Structure 1
Amino acid sequence: MTTTGETPQAPATPTRTPTPAPPPSPLRLPAFRRFVLAQLVSAAGSAMAPLALAYAVIGAGGGAGALGLVLATNTVPTVVFLLVGGVLADRLSRSRLLFLGNLLAAAAQGVLALVVATGHAGTGAIAACGFVSGVAVAFTTPAAQGVVTQLVAPGQLQQANALLRLPTNAVKVVGPVTGGLVVAVGGPAWALGFDACTFAVAALLLLGLRLGAPATRTSALADLREGWSGFWSRTWLWTYTAAGTVLVAAWLAGYQLLGPVVTEQEYEGARTWGFIQGAFSLGLLAGAVVCLRWKPERLLTVAVAASSGLALPLAGLAFGLPLPWLLLSAVLAGITLDVAGVAWVTAFQQHVPDGELGRMSSFNQVGERLAIPLGYLVVALVSSAFADRSVLLVCTGIIVAATLLNLCVRDIHRIRRVE
């Protein structure tokens, strides 16, 4: 009841800020759908290629040494030419670079399929085709990092990156099995020929994107120097790359190299290893699904922390855990790896200017690819002196230590989502 004679006023109704509508799915964009389809088609062939390549070398009379030489000639040119590919990705049309790179890969795999089918596939010829394929990867990898930012809005980047990984991860589950059947029934030439066809189809799809080229006013060498300065000035970027180099080396040495050896000695050999690889691939697929729903604020913190999940299957093998626990650890490792990958790529695309994406990507990729021969070389040197399980424990510790040290970098936690 009032005593002043004034009419009482009803309490004001608080105004509610409308919840912003979520951004539309990137799949509504025709250009993005074309890019996803190109990636899926290419991945379908690439999933069969490693097995077909191995049996092509074996069929030519080569052994482990010859296969190692072929793999090296595929990896080395990628590392050597990545920086060139990064500079070009910031100067030329990225869709045109992807078109030319896929066309080059199609030609290399087509020639390889032909020489294998005609019985003229010596180690030298296979290695030469692998060299050309490695060069193609060096030019397509940096360009692919920047294409997504030209196709979708910043708020759609994480969803776009997850959608790109979802079908390719699904292919990783069924691709090796299908490739094995193709090689068993028709021989490696058929699988290699299929891989060549998928690269050609992907090239035609990418040709239709017709993305513009970033504006440049300096020389290529000046671009490279400027790129290095930009890379070094971003503490979060070079520390993530350095930690990733160590982490990837430990992961590849423990999982790819010692995993088959330990399962052969302690479990049921190829059968157990096949189950573990299948569980890991299913984890990758599940991780992509998680990234479609979960959008963390601190993207880079999530990317670094999730990478530690790779230690789980290595620790399981080192301690001789039963198969169900090994399979669970492999699934969890796959989930965390894909979450880390999507979070990292999204943070990278949102916090690096479009005109620098190619060069920054190439510097990061050089670091991670150098880890491949590094990890294999170190394990080869120490495996004769120490038990395989002990080396696996060391690899586990390195992954955990690299993750914890990277989490101590303050700049890592400053990289937040941009909507």
Structure 2
Amino acid sequence: MNHGPGAAPADGPPSRRRLAPRRPPWAGRNYTLLTTAAVVTGLGSSGALIASAFAVLEAGGDGTDVGLIAASRTVPLVLFLLIGGAVADRLPRHHVMVAANALNCLSQGTFAVLVISGEARLWQMAVLSALGGTGQAFFGPAAEGMVLATVRSEQSARAFAVFRMGMNGAHIGGAALGGALVAALGPGWVLAVDAAAFAVAGSLRGLLDLSGMPERVRGTGLFADLRDGWREVTGRPWLWSVIVQFAVVNAVVAAAEAVYGPLVAEEHLGGAGPWGVALAAFGAGTVGGALLMTRWQPRRILLAGALCVFPLALPSAALAVPVTAGPLTAVMFGSGLAVEVFAVTWMMALHQEVPEEKFSRVSAYDWLGSVAMVPVATALAGPVEALIGRSAALWGCSALIVALTAAVLCVPGVRNLERRTTAAPPLVQPLLKDSPGPSGDSAPSPS
């Protein structure tokens, strides 16, 4: 039982009590474990993205090979997401998360050994990247909602915002640290650090206290579970409309930032340096958005989130003009802040409205919608530019974001869904038992 975060013994010296680490009263042991694990993997994985690209180049590959290795991770992620969601709803989710972390640890560790030894071949990198994508396909749906299940409903928005703030900060720091370590030590050692990060994170997640959690009732079969998840999605217009919206929004944002952005930077902004600063500003904006959401809890959660999607059209428009580096950096910061507000409100809506026993299946459809069209958009970006010109293509990206967001706001459920502050449902109660209430007691029984 947690008797209060950072509490020192009553007879401890005053200096010890003042220096004891403190955490919010809603941040129990399980929440702390999950957040720490996410920060650890965020630090490792951000550096590994840079390291894998340089590992391909060191092995004699070119830009096309870098893209193929990246695609080899994305393809299994798309293929196995739905199966991963169904499995996570049939088995204890933390077991699925730990198993996925173990797979990522082994694949990245093997990748690191091959690179350090100088024996890495492109086909080996592709296979190992595919294993990493497979692990992510099972981890992602299992992890969705776990953090929110560790806190009371009235604290869920703040808790998730703090979680996102730590995770986004880890991605920013990990990218900067990873780039420096690649230059100093080589990509193989950065990949080894990522493997170690997965091992640490898996160990932390294995320490989650889920005693008392009722055993999951399995359905008639895996594909029947997938059909059931599909019915959950299609039966909620607010849910499937936002999934469709972001299937396109994520795709055009990826095309603008991964393909057009570097080209505009090279021709008009002074090269990779200003573009890197703009991307870093986007990351800083996500941290700012998470910080904002620790204070702001909008009543109409989806309406607030949907309105914050409009600013995502601004970076493409800024690149289409194109503006100078200073205004572009400001636009990127604002869009990062806005999209983080959406991310928090979206997770609040899912956690509030989707039954816990079907959450991973629904999350898998959400993940699939978010990533499925990204490779298509990035592959078509070049031909579209050749057909209509870069500026027109970028204005088209902005127009699609605005049009789809306006269409989503026409859905009554998006405009009217309100935040509730009721107690957590029975299935997630065991996760709450180590989170003290205002009086220091365990979480109350659900109403």
1:394 is matched with 396
3-state DSSP of counterpart to 2:322: coil
1:314 is matched with 316
* Partner Cα distance (2:384, 2:87) in 1: 40
Give the CA deviation at 1:256. Answer: 2.0
* Partner Cα distance (1:340, 1:270) in 2: 29
Give the CA deviation at 1:25. Answer: 4.2
Range moving further from structure 2, 312-321 or 53-62: 312-321
2:41 is matched with 42
| Residues 344-383 of structure 1 mapped to structure 2, 5 A cutoff | 344-383=346-385
| Residues 20-39 of structure 1 mapped to structure 2, 5 A cutoff | 25=24, 27-39=26-38
> For each residue in 1:372-407, what CA deviation from the matched residue of structure 2 results, as whole angstroms up to 9, or x when unmatched?
112112212212223222211111111111111111
* Partner Cα distance (1:372, 1:203) in 2: 29
State yes or no: 1:65 paired with 2:67: no
One-letter code of the match for 1:242? V
One-letter code of the match for 2:138? F
One-letter code of the match for 2:53? A
* Partner Cα distance (1:255, 1:71) in 2: 16
One-letter code of the match for 2:172? V
2:439 is matched with none
3-state DSSP of counterpart to 1:146: coil
CA contact (8 A) 1:259 1:317 kept: yes
Q: CA 1:147–1:100 in 2, change beyond 3 Å: closer, same or farther? A: same
CA contact (8 A) 2:27 2:159 kept: no
CA contact (8 A) 2:308 2:339 kept: yes
1:139 is matched with 138
3-state DSSP of counterpart to 1:69: helix
CA contact (8 A) 1:52 1:189 kept: yes
Q: CA 1:148–1:215 in 2, change beyond 3 Å: closer, same or farther? A: farther
Range moving further from structure 2, 320-329 or 232-241: 320-329
CA contact (8 A) 2:85 2:361 kept: yes
Range moving further from structure 2, 330-339 or 406-415: 406-415
* Partner Cα distance (2:134, 2:389) in 1: 37
1:3 is matched with none
One-letter code of the match for 1:350? Q
Question: Larger Rg: 1 or 2?
Answer: 1
* Partner Cα distance (1:27, 1:241) in 2: 31
Q: CA 1:381–1:150 in 2, change beyond 3 Å: closer, same or farther? A: same
| Residues 78-227 of structure 1 mapped to structure 2, 5 A cutoff | 78-211=77-210, 212=213, 213-227=215-229
* Partner Cα distance (2:329, 2:148) in 1: 36
Range moving further from structure 2, 106-115 or 299-308: 299-308
Report how many aligned residue pairs link the two structures: 396
In the superposition, the TM-score normalised over structure 1's length comes to: 0.92
Give the CA deviation at 1:150. Answer: 2.8
3-state DSSP of counterpart to 2:90: coil
CA contact (8 A) 1:149 1:354 kept: no
1:16 is matched with none
CA contact (8 A) 1:170 1:285 kept: yes
3-state DSSP of counterpart to 1:297: coil
* Partner Cα distance (1:47, 1:26) in 2: 31
3-state DSSP of counterpart to 1:321: coil
Give the CA deviation at 1:160. Answer: 1.8
2:330 is matched with 328
3-state DSSP of counterpart to 1:293: coil
* Partner Cα distance (2:26, 2:258) in 1: 35
3-state DSSP of counterpart to 1:416: coil
3-state DSSP of counterpart to 1:295: coil
CA contact (8 A) 2:26 2:152 kept: no
* Partner Cα distance (1:249, 1:409) in 2: 22
* Partner Cα distance (1:388, 1:121) in 2: 37
1:408 is matched with 410
> For each residue in 1:161-211, what CA deviation from the matched residue of structure 2 results, as whole angstroms up to 9, or x when unmatched?
111111111122222221111111110001000000000000000001143
1:274 is matched with 276
* Partner Cα distance (2:272, 2:244) in 1: 34
CA contact (8 A) 1:166 1:288 kept: yes
3-state DSSP of counterpart to 1:28: coil
- Please tell me the root mean square deviation across aligned C-alpha atoms, in Å: 1.4
* Partner Cα distance (2:105, 2:310) in 1: 36
CA contact (8 A) 2:43 2:175 kept: no
> For each residue in 1:314-364, what CA deviation from the matched residue of structure 2 results, as whole angstroms up to 9, or x when unmatched?
111111222221111011001001111011011111110101100000011
> For each residue in 1:31-70, what CA deviation from the matched residue of structure 2 results, as whole angstroms up to 9, or x when unmatched?
1111100111111101101110100000000011211111
CA contact (8 A) 2:321 2:391 kept: yes
* Partner Cα distance (2:326, 2:407) in 1: 31
Q: CA 1:61–1:409 in 2, change beyond 3 Å: closer, same or farther? A: same
> For each residue in 1:113-133, what CA deviation from the matched residue of structure 2 results, as whole angstroms up to 9, or x when unmatched?
000011111110100110000
Give the CA deviation at 1:271. Answer: 1.0
* Partner Cα distance (1:135, 1:33) in 2: 26
* Partner Cα distance (1:230, 1:348) in 2: 11
